[in-house]
Amino acid sequence: MDKIKVGVLGATGMVGQRFVQLLAHHPWFEIAALAASERSARKAYGEACHWVISGDMPAVIKEMVVQESTPDLACRLVFSALPAKVAGPIEEEFAAAGYAVSSNARNHRLDPDVPLLVPEVNPDHLALIETQRRKRGWKGFIVTNPNCCAAPLALALKPLWDRFGITALSVVTMQALSGAGYPGVPSLDILDNAIPYIAGEEGKVESEPLKLLGRLEGEAIREATMIISAQCHRVATREGHLEAISLKLGQEASREDVVETLRDFRGTLQDLGLPSAPERPIVVREENDRPQPRLDRDEGEGMSVVVGRVRECPVLGYKFVLLGHNTIRGAAGAAILNAELLAAQGYLDF
């Protein structure tokens, strides 16, 4: 089949570069347009972009001219890695002009008619697209992926939620520097340090899993009912967000039940052959000192989350440590997997 032409908005940033890397040799998608701010527009990508992720900038992309983020790009699908301060209206303009928008930005995640999607968790929420188009009169639409901590969290919670229920959850994050974009946190603030505040982050981690694990009822999502308390910290790792989780299950379960439920989780995507779907969305490790960001973040090409140290918690029942790659499963890889599901289900045939 012909590849689907795609564009990347915010292509020069931290997440935008990850999109470019993951899309450069994608079997279904082909980069047809790169867009960013006025600062980068009309420059060659190789000149406009200060490449900061490992591996070289793909040669085919270097000479492409960066465009403005306006809805006149030669493609059908755009991935948005725009900062929240501008993403909202720009993504709406693209959707209104007939583009499918797969967004990383927070702006539309909690809109009642916009799917907040992790394909292994809530693929049925895509049905909101029809409601969205009808209500807003758009030819295109917006689909979003969760925050970089909420995405791995929802993935790890999904099998536990389905089998046992969850009533309360505490999560303490240790988040990598790349999560702050480029140039991000000044080195003198973070070297030899950890910062116990990331603006707006705790609210996202507390709210987004409730929509993701919610049930589609008619044209709306009924949110999952559990209490989540999040404390978010910036630490001096480059990539890979670590989350220390304690939770209270809705019913009795042995440690073996919990481990087996996490380890056996596959989601419902296996038959669709989505190129970015990992064989094992959740990898469980038994060593006392894993997962670690440097050693484990690339599990499943960065699309698997890694769980370790599953043990009893005297306060809530069980606790474990979770690791997710923030710019892959928590951002670009997540949006690409969402787009693969859109393609597989015919949402890009327009």
The angle subtended at Cα 213 by Cα 333 and Cα 16, nearest 5°, is 20
How far is residue 156's CA from residue 307's CA, in Å, rounded to a whole number? 8
How many beta carbons lie within 10 A of that of residue 336, not counting itself?
Answer: 26
How far is residue 227's CA from residue 119's CA, in Å, rounded to a whole number? 23
324 makes contact with ligand NAP (CB under 6 A): no
3-state secondary structure of 215: strand
Q: Which is nearer to ligand NAP, 107 or 261 (CB)?
A: 107
Choice from 4, 6, 7, 16 touching ligand NAP (CB under 6 A): 16
67 makes contact with ligand NAP (CB under 6 A): no
Q: Which is nearer to ligand NAP, 6 or 249 (CB)?
A: 6
DSSP E strand boundaries for the chain: 4-9, 29-36, 67-68, 77-80, 100-103, 141-144, 166-175, 215-217, 220-222, 227-234, 241-249, 282-284, 305-313, 317-324
For the question of residue 108 being annotated catalytic, the response is no
How far is residue 194's CA from residue 43's CA, in Å, rounded to a whole number? 37
Q: Which stretch binds ligand NAP (CB under 6 A): 131-139, 153-161, 175-183, 219-227?
A: 175-183
Q: Which stretch binds ligand NAP (CB under 6 A): 20-28, 104-112, 125-133, 226-234?
A: 104-112
Query: Any idea which residue has 């969205």 for tokens?
Result: 132
Q: Which of residues 71-90 bind ligand NAP (CB under 6 A)?
A: 81-84, 86-87
Kindly state the number of chain residues that form the binding site for ligand NAP, as judged by CB under 6 A. Answer: 30
Please tell me which residue in 49, 108, 125, 148 is annotated as part of the active site.
148
123 makes contact with ligand NAP (CB under 6 A): no
How far is residue 343's CA from residue 349's CA, in Å, rounded to a whole number? 8
14 makes contact with ligand NAP (CB under 6 A): yes
Q: Which stretch binds ligand NAP (CB under 6 A): 5-13, 94-102, 122-130, 297-305?
A: 5-13
Pairing of strands 29-36, 305-313: unpaired
What residues are annotated to the active site?
148, 241
Instruction: Kindly list the residues in this chain that would bind ligand NAP in the complex (CB under 6 A).
Output: 10-16, 36-37, 39-40, 69, 81-84, 86-87, 104-106, 148, 178-179, 181-182, 326-327, 330-331
